[in-house]
Structure 1
Amino acid sequence: MKNILLIEDEKNMARFIELELRHESFHIVVAYDGKTGLDLALGEEWDVILLDLMLPGIDGLEVCRKIRATKKTPIIMLTARDSVTDRVFGLDSGADDYIPKPFAIEELLARMRVVFRRQEEQMAGQRSLLMHGELQVDLNARVVSKADQIIELTKREYDLLVKLMKNVNRVLARDMLLDTVWGFEAAVETNVVDVYVRYLRNKIDSPKEPSYIQTVRGIGYVMRK
């Protein structure tokens, strides 16, 4: 369930939006002034903030700027002021979108869906990248790089590195690495893992620097933060 914060001082408008969004199965909390809304925005996690421009106490532009100074929570501004200048001020303050009043609830829902899709795309992009210090693996492109320099790996080396980077701070036994990277039916000995770890170290480590891959004697290997 998506968590929505509505900061709106017009009680009738706030009630209308609250009821409509609850009907759409959103969890929604309403604040009726800028200070209360700002405290809620900074104190909890929200999927989107619906923010009125004209608020008592602290106006919407200032609330938006203060939120954006510390958080990336998507913000959609709601306001009766629809001049180009007002829209520019709102967007420049850090709002992700701007919808003038009066509006149909269908339009607000459509704008929110755009925000949610953008969040999902960003999260998917983050999941496709593994990073450890200067070492980076782009899972979609299957490209390994260090300090922006591409490192050429064989398939086994790549699969072994990905397994280790997906399990940072977790010690992985040689048997488990062998089964995962080479497969249960592979006719190879566990010392092949040691050989490939050595290959990887030669390619990803820097001289006189600690190895990315640490040996846990008698067990296996780990990459630690």
Structure 2
Amino acid sequence: MSKIVLLVEDERRIREIVADYFKQQQWIVYEADNGKRALEMFEITKPNLIILDILMPGMDGFSVCRQIRNQSDVPIILLTAKSDDDDKIHGFELGADDYVTKPFSPKVLVVRANTLMRRLEGKVSPQGHNLRFGQAVLNTLAHRLNIEDIEIELTPKEYELLQFMIQNKGIVLSRDTILDRVWGADFEGDSRVVDTHIKKLRSKLGHESRYIRTVIGTGYRFEVEE
């Protein structure tokens, strides 16, 4: 199946180099040089992945990310020249899945993109693909969460986080463990991103958030009554 990436970057030379690397890995590449064009291309191309520069004139990447997340859970990797952790956390709060700081290696960016896509494609076997807790059902084949037959929209990273916690129920998971298993060993942020995503996930789970227990000074545990 073809992989389609929408590359949003206002610097032409960077855009051309990154596009070439993705094409070498058999990606279909569409390009946009500003936020407004990015939203137009998103509607037209229906990409599997978006590489999104934050510092663009006019509509910045944060605004683009916010608008896309209002209608889609397509994976988003943010690009920025800033290394401020608060800036990164803001991106994750908006629903981004990964964050790459300039200057970066285009080859490494493509590797991270491929790794992200493999994680989201699902590595769980068909057996027992419905993970149940309380009134909630997480379908690992369809990547859908339903609570009392109502579908709850999750970002790809929220889905990965919830699935990982359910599959390790009863185990205390440190923030570092969660970062390594859900975000990957090459993640460039700090553990606050875990707390941010747990907070958003609890909000979406509503009453069923009671299963996510905070272990003070360590991390979290998914506790399901047997």
TM range (shorter): 0.5 to 0.7
**1:51 correspondence with 2:88:** no
Q: Is the 8 A contact 1:42 1:71 kept in 2?
A: no
1:46-82 Cα shifts (integer Å, max 9, x gaps): 1110000011221100000000010000000011111
Map 1:104-183 → 2, pairs under 5 A: 104-121=105-122, 128-129=129-130
Q: Is the 8 A contact 2:8 2:51 kept in 1?
A: yes
Q: Is the 8 A contact 2:8 2:53 kept in 1?
A: yes
Q: Which ranges in structure 2 are unaligned for 5 or more consecutive residues?
A: 142-147, 150-226
Question: What is the alpha-carbon root mean square deviation over aligned residues?
Answer: 3.2
1:91-144 Cα shifts (integer Å, max 9, x gaps): 111110000011112321221122111221179679945xxxx9x8x899xxxx
Q: Is the 8 A contact 2:122 2:140 kept in 1?
A: no
Counterpart-to-counterpart distance in 2, 1:110 and 1:26: 12
Aligned to 1:68: 69
Counterpart-to-counterpart distance in 2, 1:126 and 1:105: 38
Structure 1 residue 39, shift from structure 2 partner: 1.6
Q: Specify the code of the residue in structure 1 equivalent to 2:117.
A: F
Counterpart-to-counterpart distance in 2, 1:126 and 1:96: 27
What SS is found at the alignment partner of 2:100?
strand
The TM-score, its normalising length taken from structure 1, stands at 0.54
Query: Which ranges of 4 or more aligned residues in structure 1 deviate by more than 3 Å?
Result: 122-129
Structure 1 residue 11, shift from structure 2 partner: 0.6
Q: Is the 8 A contact 1:53 1:59 kept in 2?
A: yes
Q: Which ranges in structure 1 are unaligned for 5 or more consecutive residues?
A: 141-146, 149-225
CA distance 1:124–1:64, change in 2 (3 Å) = farther
Aligned to 2:193: none
Aligned to 1:28: 29
Counterpart-to-counterpart distance in 2, 1:110 and 1:139: 24
Counterpart-to-counterpart distance in 1, 2:71 and 2:108: 28
What percentage of residue pairs aligned between the two structures are identical? 33
CA distance 1:125–1:52, change in 2 (3 Å) = farther
Q: How many residue pairs get matched?
A: 138
Aligned to 2:40: 39
Q: Specify the code of the residue in structure 2 equivalent to 1:45.
A: K
CA distance 1:90–1:72, change in 2 (3 Å) = same
Aligned to 1:96: 97
Aligned to 1:144: none
Q: Is the 8 A contact 1:6 1:28 kept in 2?
A: yes
Q: Is the 8 A contact 1:77 1:95 kept in 2?
A: yes
Structure 1 residue 44, shift from structure 2 partner: 3.2
What SS is found at the alignment partner of 1:57?
coil
Map 1:204-215 → 2, pairs under 5 A: none
CA distance 1:58–1:128, change in 2 (3 Å) = same
**Deviation larger for 84-93 or 117-126:** 117-126
Counterpart-to-counterpart distance in 1, 2:5 and 2:66: 19
